[in-house]
């Protein structure tokens, strides 16, 4: 078990300078801004300085929005608690923005199969509402949309590259792929400057930890920290790639600053895929707690399992120089340290329903 503070690698001076130049004295809207990746992105933009940061989040239950995620920067951002799918809200918000990082979505693959209409509303209808607002009120805004490698479905070859055919195995993947096409279509037809990033398994501080329907790695972390049982379906041999959230934030900012990325799709990925059993072992070693249990696949998960799956990030590396900088062990240790300090704000199953800070749209 480790106890020393973990140092996460930082960007090169050239990369940092480029990001600062791109975003300083600009206005940035983050949809899903109280969520896991959105709140970490907001914190990074606050660090840049001289950036007007606006957050939009509907605080949909069980989706990861958490006011504590911005507790220490709440006076440095403007928060709108509202539905992105409401034209009266989003039409007003996008007007003065230079950038929109569009992270608002339903991300649970299992829930999408149980509640497909709800997934359609969040992942398609709301996306079209945002794009229509940009087309009508700010057609020159730059949009970065976060998609998922789940759009590829079961791999025909590995690592997945952007030329791989797309055949999603669940409703969530179908809707995320549709939303990609919306963004790219609005770029081609209306000139709305859109870029899509297909994220893989992102982990780190400020993730939803209250249930196991969104992220394998987040739930594994919780089970290990609690000294619980980590269930591995089959034998846990499935290989995945994992990205620490700080690396994902830098990818978002680098792609947002690149004109050459507009109208295109990019994968993220890691240097080396790891098996889920290795991930579990690493967490047990880091926390000193938890055990592994091998169990059969539940039927509802077996239907949407894709086996080994990991992506190539060569395309984004070639264009803007991005690559993952955080090792799995360092990222996991940093994440565990964060939750050791702030467990009460992420373990409680009670959903906070009354916002403590609110700027009306």
CATH for 324: 3.40.50.720
Quote the pLDDT of residue 351: 39
Q: How many domains are there within the chain?
A: 1
Residues 6+ apart with CB under 8 A from 280: 220, 224, 230, 232, 236, 290, 292
Does some domain include residue 193?
A: yes
Name every residue whose Cβ is closer than 8 Å to that of residue 205 and which is 6 or more positions away in sequence: 40, 245, 334, 335, 338, 339, 342
What is the DSSP code (8-state) at residue 123?
Answer: I
Answer for the pair 194, 187: CB distance below 8 angstroms, yes or no.
yes
Does residue 360 belong to any structural domain of this protein?
no
pLDDT confidence of residue 213: 72
Q: What is the mean pLDDT of each run of 10 residues along the chain (361 residues)?
A: 54 65 96 98 96 97 92 98 97 96 90 93 97 97 97 97 96 97 98 98 95 84 96 89 98 97 98 96 97 84 80 98 97 98 85 32 28
Site of tokens 């509640």: 115
pLDDT of residue 353: 34
Position 349 scores a pLDDT of 52
Q: Which helix (H) or strand (E) segment is 195 a member of?
A: strand 193-199
Q: In 3D, which of 192, 81, 87 has the Cα closest to residue 130?
A: 87
Residue 358 included in any domain: no
> Which residue range(s) make up the domain with 277?
13-347
User: Does a structural domain hold residue 295?
Assistant: yes
In a domain, 250, yes or no: yes
Q: How high is the pLDDT of residue 29?
A: 98
- Asked whether residue 354 is assigned to any structural domain, the reply reads no
Q: What is the pLDDT of residue 244?
A: 98
Give pTM, 2 decimals: 0.91
């Amino acid at each position: 078990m480790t106890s020393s503070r973990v140092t996460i690698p930082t960007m090169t001076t050239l990369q940092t300078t480029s990001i600062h130049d791109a975003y300083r004295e600009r206005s940035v809207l983050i949809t899903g801004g109280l969520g896991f990746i959105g709140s970490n992105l907001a914190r990074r933009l606050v660090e840049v300085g001289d950036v007007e940061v606006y957050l939009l989040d509907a605080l949909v239950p069980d989706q990861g929005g958490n006011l504590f995620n911005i507790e220490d920067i709440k006076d440095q951002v403007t928060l709108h608690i509202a539905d992105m799918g409401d034209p009266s809200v989003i039409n007003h918000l996008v007007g003065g923005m230079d950038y929109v990082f569009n992270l608002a979505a339903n991300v649970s693959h299992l829930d999408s199969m149980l509640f497909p209409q709800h997934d359609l509303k969040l992942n398609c209808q709301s996306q079209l509402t945002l794009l229509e607002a940009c087309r009508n009120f700010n057609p020159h805004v730059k949009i970065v949309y976060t998609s998922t490698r789940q759009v590829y479905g079961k791999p025909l070859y590995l690592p997945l590259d952007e030329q791989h055919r797309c055949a999603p195995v669940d409703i969530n993947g179908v809707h995320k792929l549709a939303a990609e096409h919306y963004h790219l279509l609005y770029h081609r037809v209306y000139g709305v400057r859109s870029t899509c990033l297909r994220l893989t398994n992102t982990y780190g501080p400020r993730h939803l930890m209250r249930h196991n329907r969104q992220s394998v790695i987040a739930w594994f972390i919780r089970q290990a920290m609690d000294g619980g049982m980590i269930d591995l379906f089959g034998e846990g041999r499935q290989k995945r790639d994992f990205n620490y959230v700080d690396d994902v934030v830098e990818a978002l900012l680098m792609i947002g600053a690149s004109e050459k990325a507009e109208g295109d799709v990019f994968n993220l990925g890691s240097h080396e895929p790891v098996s889920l059993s290795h991930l579990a072992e690493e967490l047990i070693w880091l926390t000193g707690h938890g055990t592994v249990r091998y169990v059969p696949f539940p039927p509802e998960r077996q239907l949407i399992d894709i086996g080994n799956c990991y992506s190539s990030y060569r395309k984004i590396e070639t264009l803007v120089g991005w690559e993952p900088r955080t090792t799995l062990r360092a990222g996991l240790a940093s994440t565990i340290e964060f939750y050791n300090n702030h467990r009460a704000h992420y373990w409680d199953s009670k959903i906070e329903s009354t916002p403590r800070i609110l700027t009306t749209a």
